[in-house]
Amino acid sequence: MARRIAIAGLGAAARKIHLPAIARLKDLSVVGGCDPAVPDGFPFPLFATVDELLERTRPDVLVVAAPTAAHFALTRRGLEAGCHVLCEKPFMETLDEADAIIALAARLGRRVVVNNEFRFMNCHAAAKERIGQPDFGELLFVAMHQTFLVTPGTEAGWRGRDLRRTAKDFGTHVLDLARFFFGEEPRSIAARMPRPGAPDGPDYLNLLQLEFSGDRVAQITLDRLCRGRHRYLDTRLDGTVGCIETSLGGRAEVRAGVDARSRRPFFHLDVAGGGCARLYRGERFRVLTRDPLDVFARATGRLVQAFFTALDAGAVPPCDAADNRRTLALMLAAYDAAERGAPVVLEHSRADAACA
């Protein structure tokens, strides 16, 4: 079934992720785009406003790739025009906005999906698949670590002006991954967001801890104070039998030496264009999968394909708005916990306790 797609917001997310993702899929055509600046260099008609875009092109799907502050108005207009919507993260600015969009989509019989593409990357999908298998066992602990080298280029535009810089933008991805790996909602979140030397500046350091059932924990460090090596996201999943390490961001490393325990020499060549997942037991490992350089576009393409497959089947698509509301609530709770200086018990946990 051929579908017509329009894009609201033609910045980096559209150019580097959404347009390459759409280009890889069959039976899709981009019928137009809009951006306040109306940039040049796109092979489809450009419009100054979303209203003109929707009226002139009549798309089946509206991609919302604009700054977060515009998500609510653009998603609402897309739904009112009869579109399904694929919205970039963070989904909305507030839970009230999220609830209004979820209610509107239900009333109009439309679907809204949020681009939680990290779930669809080979490395993370392979890790999720091993949980519960004999070579990994049950998941006990997840550790995620980012060291991100901040530069004037990374902080240009609206992202760099947002004081809720790190947890709101990138943290949304890792919080969603924690939910994805554990397969349940966390009971509470604790957060420290120190701002050494810049008390009124953005949250360039996030220390987050999520508590899950069975005394299981996710520990997240997002470090944008680091002036050392850039590591986009490294994750370790500890199971009852094995351990999985994933690396996102690409690397090429050669390691050689002598193992201190066995006294045996070793040589490792590790080349991963976009990402890699390894299953360890002790020092021994096997590569589960790798991701290519265009990991973000490919993962978004998989999500878009799953979205359309669900629409054709009349099913709930993955990463739909109701599911993402929980990730949004978790991200907002992280800031609340940091401001309070105390863990926040999450809403669903209070409801569970009341029913017990």
What b-and-e string marks burial along 124-159, b requiring 16 or more CB atoms within 10 Å of the CB? bbbbbebbeeeebbebeebebebbbebeeeeeeeeb
For tokens 């306790």, name the residue.
353
Please say if the pLDDT value at position 227 is more than 80.
Answer: yes
Q: Comparing 72 with 153, which gets the higher pLDDT?
A: 72
Please say if the pLDDT value at position 261 is more than 80.
Answer: no
What is the average per-residue pLDDT within 272-290? 90
How high is the pLDDT of residue 340?
96
How high is the pLDDT of residue 356?
42
What is the average per-residue pLDDT within 203-208? 97
pTM for the whole thing? 0.91
CB–CB of 98/68 below 8 Å? no
pLDDT tens sequence across 52-72: 999 999 999 999 999 999 999
**CA Rg, the chain, in Å?**
21
How high is the pLDDT of residue 255?
53
What is the average per-residue pLDDT within 262-288? 78
Residue 103, classed as helix, strand or coil, is helix
In the chain, CATH 3.40.50.720 sits at: 3-110
Please say if the pLDDT value at position 341 is more than 50.
Answer: yes
Q: Which helix (H) or strand (E) element contains residue 75?
A: helix 71-80
**Three-state secondary structure along 217-265?**
EEEEEEECCCCCCCEEEEEEEEECCCEEEEEECCEEEEEEEECCCCCCE
Q: What CATH superfamily classification does 119-296+332-345 receive?
A: Dihydrodipicolinate Reductase; domain 2 (3.30.360.10)
pLDDT tens sequence across 114-126: 999 999 999 999 9
What is the average per-residue pLDDT within 184-191? 98
| Helix pair angle (171-182, 321-340), 10° resolution | 110
Please say if the pLDDT value at position 198 is more than 60.
Answer: yes
Please say if the pLDDT value at position 352 is more than 60.
Answer: no
Query: In CATH, what number does 3-110 get?
Result: 3.40.50.720
The answer for residues whose C-beta is within 8 angstroms of residue 356's C-beta and 6 or more apart is: none
CB–CB of 291/276 below 8 Å? yes
